[in-house]
């Protein structure tokens, strides 16, 4: 069975600094996708960034980038120039290339941003 | 269309009562997913529909739970004889499935409290 593990329950970063959130996953599939979702307090979950397993190049979206290490089954999220609005729960998620595309989530990392 | 909506946003009920939640997906989306999120955890997949067909149900979806999407548009999730363990946030997501993975857009969730 596929699993997603986030070992950092909480992280803290100074505004304008860089922070990295860790995620590992386990799968025997070769075709899959990985995601980072952001869930602000009392607000809905939004997609931050997505990585397709067959792409070697790490995905980047503005201040957000990932370090995808396929052999190590590691998928970390780097947030550069942290802003107060980045404070939220961050979930790492996985889906395989089967037809359902159901998401399997980690337990989340709460990111605190210090002004 | 402003996104996925869910109703109600909050529901408090007594143990043993039945509750029903509604999800309205983004209008052109043919896939609809239900997830459950308990406090401090990531969302867990419950079930999904493609158009009106329910294609997969998680083992988490006991026989007290039933979901429908009668005309391939909105969906309802009913819980019969609620238990305190059913207290959670119930999230709905929709996507437009066109072969390769397409982003799931989440609603704000329905928070259920069973007393």
Q: What is the 3-state secondary structure (H, E, C) of chain A?
A: CCEEECCCCEEEEECCCCEEECCEEECCCCCEEEEEEEECCCCCCEEEEEEECCCCCCCEECCEEEEEECCCCEEEEEECCCCHHHCEEEEEEEEECCCCCCCEECCCEEEEEEC
Would you state the pLDDT for residue A94? 94
Q: What is the pLDDT of residue A95?
A: 92
* Beta strands B10-13; B110-114: pairing state: parallel
pLDDT of residue B102: 80
Using only C-alpha atoms, chain B has a radius of gyration, in whole angstroms, of 13
As a whole number, the mean pLDDT across chain B is: 94
> What residues of A are in contact with residue B3 (Cβ under 8 Å)?
44
- 3-state SS, residue B7: strand
pLDDT at position A100? 82
Residue to mutate among B7, B29, B32, B43, with most A CBs inside 10 A, is B43
Give, as one character, the DSSP assignment of residue B27. Answer: T
Q: Could you say which DSSP state residue B100 is in?
A: B
Residue B84 to residue B30: CA distance in whole angstroms: 33
Q: Which of A8-22, B6-20, B100-114 has the lowest average pLDDT?
A: B100-114
B21 in A contact zone (CB under 8 Å): no
pLDDT of amino acid B1: 53
Nearest to B107 among A44, A106, A108 (CB): A44
Positive or negative: CA dihedral A42, A106, B6, B86: negative
Q: A59: which 2 tokens?
A: 């995905």
Residue A97 pLDDT > 90, yes or no? no
């Amino acid at each position: 069975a596929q699993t997603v593990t986030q070992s950092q329950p909480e992280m803290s970063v100074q505004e304008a600094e860089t922070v990295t959130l860790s995620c590992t996953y386990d799968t025997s599939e070769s075709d899959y996708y990985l995601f980072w979702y952001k869930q602000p307090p009392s607000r809905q979950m939004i997609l931050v960034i997505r990585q397709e397993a067959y792409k070697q190049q790490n995905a980047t979206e503005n201040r957000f980038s990932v370090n995808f290490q396929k052999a190590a089954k590691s998928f970390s999220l780097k947030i550069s120039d942290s802003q107060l609005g980045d404070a939220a729960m961050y979930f790492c998620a996985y889906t395989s290339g089967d037809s359902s595309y159901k998401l399997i989530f980690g337990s989340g990392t709460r990111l605190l941003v210090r002004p | 269309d402003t996104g996925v909506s869910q109703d109600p946003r909050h529901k408090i009920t007594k143990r043993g009562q039945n509750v029903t939640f509604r999800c309205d997906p983004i209008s052109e989306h043919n896939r609809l997913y239900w997830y459950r999120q308990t406090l401090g955890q990531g969302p867990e997949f419950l079930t999904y529909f493609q158009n009106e067909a329910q294609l997969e149900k998680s083992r988490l979806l006991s026989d007290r739970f039933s979901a429908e999407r009668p005309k391939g548009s909105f969906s309802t999730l009913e819980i019969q004889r609620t238990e305190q363990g059913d207290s959670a946030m119930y999230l709905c997501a929709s996507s437009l499935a066109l072969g390769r993975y397409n982003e799931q857009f989440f609603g704000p969730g329905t928070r259920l409290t069973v007393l």
